[in-house]
Structure 1
């Protein structure tokens, strides 16, 4: 109690009054306002006390060199400890004597959750996944590509969605005819196409050395379409006449070899049927279709048609011509021409087939050609002799167009 002088009225200080009312017994000092501001308490630094209270395997915290170097979170933690000591000292809780609170384990960061449309930030799925299947039909020389669906595509538009489509490209090859695409699906990151795209005129040689590039893009009406992701499949991984299913993560765009020369093969392919008819006493030449033709017009397409000659042609009556197919690099003709000739004379003949691009007001452009007959080689020679050996049987073969045709007049 406070000592009083003689003649003064006995008084008790407010501190003594609060100590008696709140905590009877030994009088402890009342917390001052300054105690609630961040500062080092007396004794060991708080880091040392926390290290002493922390489990042995807890990582050590570097001690602060000065109060100015502490982060705001450190200051807030010291304030909480002082408040805990205050309430413990004055009977707010019946627990043991106050002391430094044990170090709390660091809070685990919340796990990344995919967005409503399935977009994830993981490296493998940052661009999305694509499901598709491939089938090489060896008998019909066709490669069927079924694009099933994509999931978790990267958002490309301001609304957090995309307008995706899939584009196919056979490599090597710069021709526009080597590229196919699906329809565009609007405002989705999880599109389902279930669409089959087919390359015709694919040979066993193509399956060994070519690669299929599959790209997913976002269509934009007011600017260039945007690339999302791609994958590449070497065709040699496929087994003839067996469907192979893929489910892959899209990758960033890979560079395409710009130095590859435009091979003669890029003039295109043509499917020709041959049959010697005993009934008509003549050779039936069928022009079925072309594929992957070279683009000759400024719009990236051609207006192709096909001409056939059976040489030598003394009377110059062996020329036949198909109809013109507008704005296409993969035309279907399905036209057949008959040359009246004895079967025995075919061994001395040569069939020349040329493909042209029709132009109005100027000369037509030569796209490519092929020669079948006794002077041909490889598949062209084999096709001719198979026809001679199998009367009344239609035999179809795909042939690669060349940009030079010996003995042909390269104008129309």
Structure 2
């Protein structure tokens, strides 16, 4: 699978140097915790290494105690969140020390597209877990050198979109060569952000282009009041083999009650029109005819 334990890697090589103690008086009111972690990349093994170091000042679930917290951390990679690890549970502490290293198999060329998502959970009473908050770290903003460890400090947030969680759209493509058509299934979207509400109404408009000429436009129904809308609608488009390289399809998420504002947009097509995942997904569809090929696509922030 794509998820990997650290295997033959010696965790001691990636342990953090001593971090000085914090002045706890610096924490603002309502603070959810300050997180220390490090990121490293092993070029030879194509493995992203994440060391959970420690957290300070997690909230206690009991106001009369400063240790009523049993924290653990789930570490996932976006887009998709299909790859994840979970730390051990630290008992009865609001200042847990983890020093646990997790590895994710990521090719060097895909590294910049990844975002690491940390979810901090209180294991709670009677094993009833409660999410304390999240933290996101986009690898696009970090200069990762082979074998060089970077220690990062960030505060935990209740809403991951506050700290720049990228919007995403989950699509399935299927090419039917004998019928000269392909199918686009708009499955769902996540972390859709609008300037005037946390839970916007939305729909997806699909426009098929040949070169720069719009050939066909279709749209999903409207999903009400959701930042994580599930559309689950399929659309069929005619596509002759001779037009494969000159065709592209644009998918845009619209907010109907705000002048049809576009909240996210992506392009699928050949190298003439698309880049990154948009081009890769398009090419995979033709390489695997009659298969439903699914992929999460990051949405550039338009707000």
For Structure 1 versus Structure 2, the TM-score category normalised by the shorter chain is: 0.5 to 0.7
SS across alignment from 2:236: strand
Does residue 333 of the first structure (1) align with residue 239 of the second (2)?
no
1:142 match: 82
Does residue 384 of the first structure (1) align with residue 282 of the second (2)?
yes
Q: What are the equivalent positions in structure 2 for 1:118-267 lying under 5 Å apart?
A: 126-132=66-72, 134=74, 136=76, 141-142=81-82, 205=111, 209-214=115-120, 255=155, 266=165
Aligned equivalents of 1:352 and 1:307: distance in 2? Answer: 8
Higher strand share: 2
Deviation, structure 1 residue 364: 1.5
Does residue 342 of the first structure (1) align with residue 248 of the second (2)?
no
Aligned equivalents of 1:297 and 1:119: distance in 2? Answer: 35
Q: Normalising to structure 1: TM-score of the pair?
A: 0.40
Q: Decide which of 348, 353, 360 is 2:251's aligned counterpart.
A: 353
SS across alignment from 1:381: helix
SS across alignment from 1:210: strand
More relative contact order, 1 or 2 (CA 8 Å, 6+ apart): 2
Maintained 8 Å contact 2:207/2:251: yes
SS across alignment from 2:234: strand
2:294 match: 396
CA deviation digits over 1:92-123, x for unaligned, max 9? xxxxxxxxxxxxxxxxxxxxxxxxxx9798xx
Maintained 8 Å contact 1:350/1:371: yes
Aligned equivalents of 2:275 and 2:244: distance in 1? Answer: 16
Maintained 8 Å contact 1:211/1:235: yes
Deviation, structure 1 residue 366: 1.1
Aligned equivalents of 1:332 and 1:145: distance in 2? Answer: 26
Q: Normalising to structure 2: TM-score of the pair?
A: 0.52
Aligned equivalents of 2:114 and 2:77: distance in 1? Answer: 14
1:290 match: 189
Residue correspondences, number: 201
CA deviation digits over 1:50-100, x for unaligned, max 9? xxxxxxxxxxxxxxxxxxxxxxxxxxxxxxxxxxxxxxxxxxxxxxxxxxx
Does residue 368 of the first structure (1) align with residue 264 of the second (2)?
yes
1:322 match: 220
1:23 match: none
Deviation, structure 1 residue 384: 1.1
Unaligned runs of 5+ in 2: 1-60, 95-109, 123-129, 139-153
CA pair 315-369 structure 1, distance change in 2 beyond 3 A: closer
Aligned equivalents of 1:339 and 1:292: distance in 2? Answer: 28
> CA RMSD, aligned part only?
4.6
Does residue 277 of the first structure (1) align with residue 176 of the second (2)?
yes
Larger radius of gyration: 1
Deviation, structure 1 residue 138: 9.1
Deviation, structure 1 residue 332: 0.6
Deviation, structure 1 residue 401: 1.2
SS across alignment from 2:187: strand
